[in-house]
Amino acid sequence: MKDNDDELSITNQHLDWAYFYEENGNPTQALKECDVVIATSPALQAEAYNLRGIILEELDRSEEAIRAYEEAIILEPTFQEATDSVRVTILPIPE
């Protein structure tokens, strides 16, 4: 069990780094960290896909963002943030 806890802890660190890079203007590195989480931790995949969607949307890559949000929703159908994000991306709120 300890090995699984250690792996989850390391994966959590990658997710934390992804948020850090996204918040500090390094989307390329943030996407790489999301990819590590997606590849290594089923428990955190939905959150990583959602963050990936946010980053892609910030990069004006809306179609890819929608696919990332959809992946998050497939993995976790009750993930409200991903559901809201895909709706806003598909139907932007007029300014």
The model carries a pTM of 0.85
Query: Which backbone phi and psi does 60 adopt, to 5 degrees?
Result: 60, 35
Model confidence at 91, pLDDT cuts 50, 70, 90, reads: confident
Model confidence at 87, pLDDT cuts 50, 70, 90, reads: confident
How many CB atoms sit inside 10 A of residue 86's CB? 21
**Contact between 68 and 89 (Cβ < 8 Å):** no
**Contact between 23 and 4 (Cβ < 8 Å):** no
